Chains A and B, each alone.
Chain A
């Protein structure tokens, strides 16, 4: 046995890959097919040998100890598994790619990829007048509460918009884009506003919304946003469309 999955992770299987959310870190991680298979086998029973064999059986090369350790260490760094043994000395991604060779693109694409981001705050996504608002967002209850109970400590206070991720992809040959006809097949539709009549129907104020209950109980200093995992991995060699 070499590793065990952490408890409390939120998993979404997407075809043969997995999207994982780690509530403890407030991070989301994408696992490609190879990494997902290794992650699945982190059950406390499997060994490096049996995981390597499983990769080989699934045709997810290179099925080597180095590839297995690469996946395990990245899964551990992402907080998704706990290693039960000290990681053996192994090749890193760069060395593995060099060893595989440039010509073996398909094999290189099958290398385990573990990519992690911090959950973005709504405030970071907005941009003021055009895109959103300012201020932070407090982790929410899922139901409308009947009383405004004190909320958990607020999270990221940063009101600034996160920059668009810088593309890191290597250039690729131009695709052969087939010309298309621009005629849409969709028939125009008529707009049917669903707005209620313009008369304003007064309602009773929710008793819980009294200003006095809105005291800023959550303006305590907040922890810094969780940074992006220090070991983001390059995307697999993409498939040209």
Chain B
């Protein structure tokens, strides 16, 4: 460990993670998780650590030491941004308070709308449009789900892909409202995917089928299936689920919010 390296742990969204890194790197990553840091500093020993290790005499890389992964020790990059990118999935795997489901999440009429989907499925683009139309921002990547099926925001910066394969970060507060509420009721789950020229024609998904699709997007589905099934079943009990291909994000966002309004009136 070099003299400038410090040892610390942080509890982020219910996951306690250890760091053995230069202070500058730690300071650089903290703003990315500012909205997710837990106040209570419980004395939980981190299971996963990030360490800077020398490579040769003049370079260094960051390694993740995580016994839940295979391999348990893995180089994840050299920069603070590499560390930020890797931390999101680590947090999702290690959170003891919530089950993380891959889903964009916004709030509307005081309840949560979930848009499940793996990465590259267009969640961030759709979430951005929903926020621009007045929905509250919760997450573009993860629904943090409590044991009762309630949703807590995972408000990282929206990560948008741009042509050429690069990306840009967008602070949701620059385009709308960021929701900081906790234990939001899940009201609507929208399984949707982009199809050129498609119309958004939502059809109801049965509760068990919705739970199955949510399970397919649950980070701990393989490692903690009991907990995962309990939580997705709770969402399915509480929310309406629909499925449809969708057109461009702007059109689909308007359609989704209109649907949410209709369902609220109907209920």
Q: When the two chains form their complex, are residues B70 and A137 in contact, meaning their CB atoms are under 8 A apart?
A: yes
Q: A144-B44, A172-B203 are in contact. Are A12 and B193 (CB under 8 A)?
A: no
Q: When the two chains form their complex, are residues A19 and B212 in contact, meaning their CB atoms are under 8 A apart?
A: yes
Q: When the two chains form their complex, are residues B255 and A169 in contact, meaning their CB atoms are under 8 A apart?
A: no
Question: Which residues from A are CB-within-8-Å of B127?
Answer: none
Q: When the two chains form their complex, are residues A161 and B203 in contact, meaning their CB atoms are under 8 A apart?
A: no
Q: When the two chains form their complex, are residues B85 and A130 in contact, meaning their CB atoms are under 8 A apart?
A: yes
Q: When the two chains form their complex, are residues B118 and A161 in contact, meaning their CB atoms are under 8 A apart?
A: yes
Q: When the two chains form their complex, are residues B223 and A185 in contact, meaning their CB atoms are under 8 A apart?
A: no
**Does B109 belong to the interface (CB within 8 Å)?**
yes
Question: Which residues from B are CB-within-8-Å of A181?
Answer: 261
CB distance from B112 to the nearest CB of A (A): 11
- Please give me the residue from chain A that is nearest to B209 by CB atom: A30
Docked CA distance A133–B184 (Å): 28
A 111-137 binary contact with B (CB < 8 Å = 1; else 0) = 001010101111001111111111111
Q: When the two chains form their complex, are residues A216 and B39 in contact, meaning their CB atoms are under 8 A apart?
A: no
**Does A186 belong to the interface (CB within 8 Å)?**
yes
**Does B61 belong to the interface (CB within 8 Å)?**
no
Q: A19-B229, A200-B8 are in contact. Are A164 and B121 (CB under 8 A)?
A: yes
- Please give me the residue from chain B that is nearest to A184 by CB atom: B134
Give chain B's interface residue range (CB within 8 Å of chain A).
35 or more
**Does A203 belong to the interface (CB within 8 Å)?**
yes
- Please give me the residue from chain B that is nearest to A196 by CB atom: B37
Q: Which of A14, A115, A148 contacts B236, CB < 8 Å? A: A14
Which residues in window 165-203 of A have CB below 8 A to B?
165, 167, 169, 171-175, 177-186, 188-196, 198, 200-203
- Please give me the residue from chain B that is nearest to A128 by CB atom: B85
- Please give me the residue from chain B that is nearest to A146 by CB atom: B45
Q: When the two chains form their complex, are residues A130 and B23 in contact, meaning their CB atoms are under 8 A apart?
A: no
Interface centre among A12, A136, A172, A179 (most CB of B within 10 A): A12
A 72-102 binary contact with B (CB < 8 Å = 1; else 0) = 0000000000000000000000000000000
Question: Which residues from B are CB-within-8-Å of A182?
Answer: 133-134, 254, 257
CB distance from B171 to the nearest CB of A (A): 10
**Chain B contact surface mostly:** mixed
Q: When the two chains form their complex, are residues B258 and A219 in contact, meaning their CB atoms are under 8 A apart?
A: no
**Does A224 belong to the interface (CB within 8 Å)?**
no
Docked CA distance A204–B57 (Å): 27
**Does B189 belong to the interface (CB within 8 Å)?**
no
Q: When the two chains form their complex, are residues A214 and B65 in contact, meaning their CB atoms are under 8 A apart?
A: yes
Docked CA distance A10–B109 (Å): 35
Question: Which residues from A are CB-within-8-Å of B236?
Answer: 14, 19
Q: When the two chains form their complex, are residues B70 and A193 in contact, meaning their CB atoms are under 8 A apart?
A: no
CB distance from B156 to the nearest CB of A (A): 11
Docked CA distance A33–B206 (Å): 9
16 contacts between A and B (CB under 8 A): A13-B233, A23-B225, A115-B212, A125-B102, A125-B217, A130-B167, A137-B93, A138-B223, A146-B45, A151-B68, A157-B70, A173-B201, A177-B200, A177-B262, A185-B110, A194-B36
19 new A-B contacts at CB < 8 Å, known A136-B69, A185-B110: A12-B211, A19-B229, A21-B225, A31-B208, A115-B212, A117-B215, A125-B102, A125-B219, A126-B89, A131-B141, A137-B70, A140-B223, A145-B47, A177-B262, A180-B261, A184-B134, A203-B7, A203-B8, A216-B72
What are the 10 closest A-B residue pairs judged by CB atoms, nearest first?
A131-B119, A127-B119, A17-B208, A238-B203, A12-B233, A154-B70, A184-B134, A132-B89, A136-B70, A180-B258
Interface residues of B (CB under 8 A from A): 6-10, 16, 18, 20, 23, 26-27, 30, 33-39, 41, 44-47, 49, 64-65, 67-74, 76, 82, 85-86, 88-90, 92-93, 102, 107-110, 117-121, 133-136, 141, 159, 161, 167, 173, 177-181, 193, 195, 199-209, 211-212, 215-230, 232-233, 236-237, 242-243, 245, 254-255, 257-259, 261-262
Interface residues of A (CB under 8 A from B): 10, 12-15, 17-19, 21, 23, 26, 28-33, 36, 113, 115, 117, 119-122, 125-140, 142, 144-146, 148, 151, 154-157, 161-162, 164-165, 167, 169, 171-175, 177-186, 188-196, 198, 200-206, 208-209, 211, 214, 216, 218-219, 222, 235-236, 238-241
